Structure 1
Amino acid sequence: MGVLVLGIGNILWADEGFGVRVVERLGEGWRFPSGVTLMDGGTQGLYLLPHIEEADALVVIDAIDYGLPPGTLRLIRDGDVPAFLGAKKMSLHQTGFQEVLATAQLTGRCPGRLRLVGVQPAVLDDYGGGLTDVVAAQVEPAAALALDILGREFGIVPEPRGAATPSDPVSRHAYEGGRPSAADACRIGDPRVLAGRFA
Structure 2
Amino acid sequence: MKIAVVGAGTIIFRDEGIGVYAQRYLAENYTFEGDVTLVDGGVLGFQLMTYYTDYDKVIILDTITMKEEAPGALYNIPGEELLGLGSYKQTAHEVEIVEMLEIAALNGNLSDVHIVGIVPEDILSVKVGLSETLQRAFPEFVSEAIAELERSGVAVLPKAEGMSLAEILDAYENPTAQRSVDPTQAD
Q: TM-score, normalised by structure 2?
A: 0.82
Please tell me the residue identity of whatever aligns with 1:91: A
Superposed CA offset, 1:108-156 (max 9, x none): 1110x221111111111221331001012222111111111111x2111
Distance 2:43 2:88 in 1: 18
CA contact (8 A) 1:21 1:139 kept: no
Q: Going by fraction, where is helix more abundant, 1 or 2?
A: 1
Matches within 5 A, 1:45-64: 45-64=45-64
Q: Tell me the equivalent position of 2:93.
A: 92
Q: How many residues align structurally?
A: 172
SS in 2 for 1:32: strand
Of all paired residues, the percent bearing the same amino acid is 27
Structure 1 Cα separation of the partners of residues 35 and 12 of structure 2: 30
| AA of the residue aligned to 1:52 | Y
1:175 aligns with 2:172: yes
CA shift, 1:76, in A, is 1.0
- The question of whether the paired residues in 1 share the 8 Å contact of 2:82 and 2:98 is answered with no
Contact 2:65 2:89 in 1 (8 A): yes
Runs of 5+ consecutive residues of structure 1 not aligned to the other structure: 179-199
- RMSD of the TM alignment (CA)? 2.2
Question: The residue matched to 1:86 in structure 2 has which SS?
Answer: coil
Give 1:47 deviation, angstroms.
1.2
Give the secondary-structure state (helix, strand or coil) at the position aligned to 2:117.
strand
CA contact (8 A) 2:34 2:154 kept: no
Alpha-carbon spacing, 1:82–1:7, altered in 2? closer, same or farther (3 Å):
farther
| C-alpha distance in 2 between matches for 1:137 and 1:21 | 14
